[in-house]
Structure 1
Amino acid sequence: MEELARLAGITVRTLRFYRERGLIPPPRREGRIAWYDDRHLARLRTISALLERGHTLSGIAELAEAFDHGRDVADLLGMDSPTEETPVRLTPEELADHFAGEVTPENLAAAMELGYLATDGEEIVHISRRLLDVSSALVREGIPLAEVLAAGKELRAHADVLADLFANLILRHGTEEDLPRLRPLARSVVEAEMSLALDRRLRKRS
């Protein structure tokens, strides 16, 4: 314990306090000996970084619980599922920097429920670089992350309907093997229709 505290730059008393508050996972025990590893050191460094960014210990404890009980990265990404999206690995500190002041336990839980985030040890994996960039840009524009996530949940339902519509259209005249090849056509149609819909929306305001 003394060595772990030294490496983390904290006192043994602070380490014990963190352990009692559930901020770090329990050590592996062999009889009366407690073994700490790199995972514990990474968590302690994360706690220090989040404290420096203004997070409270109670908030960090809730975030830690969400990390420990979050979706596994393999469950999020799927083992063999095809995707055009690029996952992004983030530390908790980097995630906090993307959404300054908005990384609350509630928002984290909502993002995990949507399947945007998963945990992989002490790292967080976001399923899509594009969604991460757009979400953080909207937050920088002053839109609360909770509302961005709520809109994402609603959009997900519409996107699933569009995907089914396109897949059923192809399958009526082709096979499952045609879907990956024709996938870019579906994306182009959705992008064009969204652009036209925004045109109509803007004309209503003029």
Structure 2
Amino acid sequence: MADKREYRMEELARQAGVTVRTVRFYRERGLLPPPRREGRIAWYDDHHLARLRTIAALLERGHTLSGIAELAEAFDNGRDVADLLGVGPPSEEEPVRLTPEELAARFEGEVTPENLAAAMELGYLGSDGDTIVHISRSLLDVSAALVREGIPLSEVLAAAARVREHADALADLFADLVLHHAPGQDVHRLRPLARSVVEAELSLALDRRLHRPA
């Protein structure tokens, strides 16, 4: 594994394409985490460089420095990816790694500190250095599609929390069926059967809802 690279402030600024004065300003605003100090020398690393490039990308997308600072605070105080992905056995869902600017691009104008905190509270997002990890590619894609349809991300996340409650209840129901009637069977074999029942019932429920008189 390659050694972790470190930079003095002048080299960090040059690599990021900004001035030393800008680096100092971002430090004072809390946009950059403190460097490692060795005597009077401050050492920055690739996480600082990634954060500077992220700030530049978000500024280009119209975010203000105040908004970026709030996002950085919410991101830095969010759940670690080890907690996010280590809560249980491997899932069928595929995690997705994103930079903050990639996340902002998927949800144009909707990545606020409040929405970021809500997504982290749901367990959708975790942090890994300067990388964001979303727990499920399918949930990420569906959430982005709903936002593109004009539904505010805050409403999508609120609905997701309600869906989570019903999904947990359904999982308990199917698991109890197996444990009660077939205690020797592997509960994980239940996945495709349970998913088929839920998909079919949801499809029928949508049919009933769409044909209901206004």
TM class, shorter-length: over 0.9
SS in 1 for 2:211: helix
Deviations 1:83-117 (A, max 9, x none): 11000000111101110010001000000000000
Amino acid at match of 1:64: A
Mapped contact 2:96–2:134 kept (Cα < 8 A): yes
The aligned length equals 206
> Structure 2 matches for 1:120-131, cutoff 5 A?
120-131=128-139
The alpha carbon displacement at 1:179 in A equals: 0.8
Indicate whether 1:168 and 2:176 are aligned. Answer: yes
- Give how far 1:33 is off: 1.3
Conservation of the 8 A alpha-carbon contact between 2:81 and 2:126: yes
For the Cα contact (< 8 Å) 2:178–2:185, is it kept in 1?
Answer: no
Give the Cα–Cα distance (whole angstroms) in 1 for the partners of residues 97 and 22 of structure 2.
Answer: 29
Q: Does 2:86 match 1:81?
A: no
- How many angstroms does 1:16 deviate by? 0.4
Give the drift of 1:60.
0.4
In structure 1, the gaps of 5 or more residues are none
Deviations 1:40-64 (A, max 9, x none): 0010000000000010000100111
Q: Which amino acid aligns with 1:133?
A: D
1:195: how far off? 0.4
Q: Distance in 1 between matches of 2:184 and 2:32?
A: 46
Go from structure 1 to structure 2 and tell me whether the alpha carbon gap of 1:89 and 1:176 turns closer, same or farther (over 3 Å shift). farther
Letter aligned with residue 125 of structure 1: V
Say which of 164, 188, 208 aligns to 1:180.
Answer: 188
Question: 1:64 & 1:138 partners in 2: Cα distance?
Answer: 25
- Give the match for residue 154 of structure 2: 146
Q: Which runs of 4+ in 1 moved over 6 A?
A: none
TM-superposed CA distance for 1:201, in Å, is 0.4
- AA paired with 1:188? S
Percent identity between the two aligned chains: 80
| Offset at residue 74 of structure 1 (A) | 1.3
1:48 counterpart residue number: 56
Structure 1 counterpart SS, 2:132: strand
Normalising by structure 1, we get a TM-score of 0.97
Letter in 1 for 2:156: V
The reply to whether residue 29 of structure 1 matches residue 21 of structure 2 is no
1:136 aligned to 138, 141, 144, which one? 144
Structure 2 distance, partners of 1:132, 1:83, is 15
| TM-score, length basis structure 2 | 0.93
* Structure 1 Cα separation of the partners of residues 45 and 130 of structure 2: 12
Match of 1:5 among 6, 13, 24: 13
